[in-house]
Amino acid sequence: MENLKARSVRVILGTGGTIAGRSVDAADNVGYVAGEVGVDDLVKAVPHLQGLVLESEQVAQIDSKDMGFAVWKRLAERVAHHLAREEVQGVIITHGTDTLEETAWFLQTVLAPGKPVVLTCAMRPATALVPDGPQNLLDAVVVAGCEGLTGVVAVSAGWVHSAQHVCKVHSYRVDAFDSGDAGPMGCVEEGEVRWFQPLASTVLASSGAEGRLAKISAATALPGVALVTSHADADGRVVLGVLALNSSQQGAKTEGIVVACTGNGTLHRALAAALGQALASGVRVVRATRCARGRVIPHVGDKFDSSEGLSPVKARLALSLALLPDWA
């Protein structure tokens, strides 16, 4: 049997974000530059982490609004490298809030890790009067040490969210994340995690993940998938523009389109007509809902697939991954 006590190391990977942001004026929580403070300094700013066996590594130093495949690939490789080490309990990733949910879903899909991978972040820069990053980092380290936890989670403002459900819902407040109908998995209180359901019931299936990292490492880019929104007074122009570009043979083709639909997957008829043309030309079309809660409930006779509960941005990523050769 594996000796869990021998797993004493937690690895913190820095990628940038507001948690590593620097502002000229400590009271300025908006006009700062993200991705400035190194991960070693983020760790040093939390004296309570001293005495734990921690390692840190700077994987990237970016504003997560600019996240992309190159950083995802490197991050997945470094996470996998550390998780494969017997002595590692779990991995923590410091990340910007803007695309945290996409990175969480990317890592969950590609790695389906058997140990905790905990993304954390901040809404205020490291130099703020009252930064939220240090507490979030401390909480994330606690969660990464939880026996029985597997998979990718996000820790922010005292909540633990699953990769599947986590979603940024506020542009400014410190408590910026939500898990929709599912609710958070648990919360961190004074260095202890209170799980709301037995951990075994929250574990996402890891089957099918074998070999995915190798496919990511071999890829130079993800297949192109566009995200469009249905709304009042919509038309099909953006979709027709995509199709025109596809037939012009200029640049990489857009192989899929995800639509953030109204309500339960409904589409403006003009947009639906253009999407029908896209489908007929071989472009995959997937419907997600633009509602903050709920999912597109599939129905017999649907012309377009549904996102199986994934939000528009996660559905876009999922479709992009699914379009990689030999992914399934």
Quick one: 119 or 239, whose CB is closer to ligand ASP? Answer: 119
- Minimal distance in Å, beta carbon 178 to ligand ASP? 15
List the catalytic residue out of 15, 18, 97, 120: 18
- H or E stretch at 277: helix 269-280
- Minimal distance in Å, beta carbon 175 to ligand ASP? 13
Quick one: 34 or 288, whose CB is closer to ligand ASP? Answer: 34
**What's the angle, vertex CA 146, arms to CA 209 and CA 110, rounded to 5?**
15
Quick one: 98 or 255, whose CB is closer to ligand ASP? Answer: 98
Q: Which residue is nearest to ligand ASP (CB)?
A: 96
Q: State how far the Cα of 117 lies from the Cα of 89, in Å rounded to an integer.
A: 9
- Minimal distance in Å, beta carbon 293 to ligand ASP? 23
- Minimal distance in Å, beta carbon 298 to ligand ASP? 33
Residues 6+ apart with CB under 8 A from 69: 219, 221, 222
The strand ranges marked E within the chain are 9-16, 54-62, 88-94, 116-120, 151-156, 159-162, 167-168, 177-178, 186-189, 192-195, 224-229, 254-261, 284-289, 305-306
Which residues in this chain contact ligand ASP in the complex, by CB under 6 A? 17-18, 34, 63-65, 96-98, 121, 123
Quick one: 122 or 315, whose CB is closer to ligand ASP? Answer: 122
User: Catalytic: 120?
Assistant: no
Q: Please say whether the beta carbons of 295 and 309 come within 8 A.
A: yes
Q: State how far the Cα of 262 lies from the Cα of 228, in Å rounded to an integer.
A: 12
Active-site residue list: 18
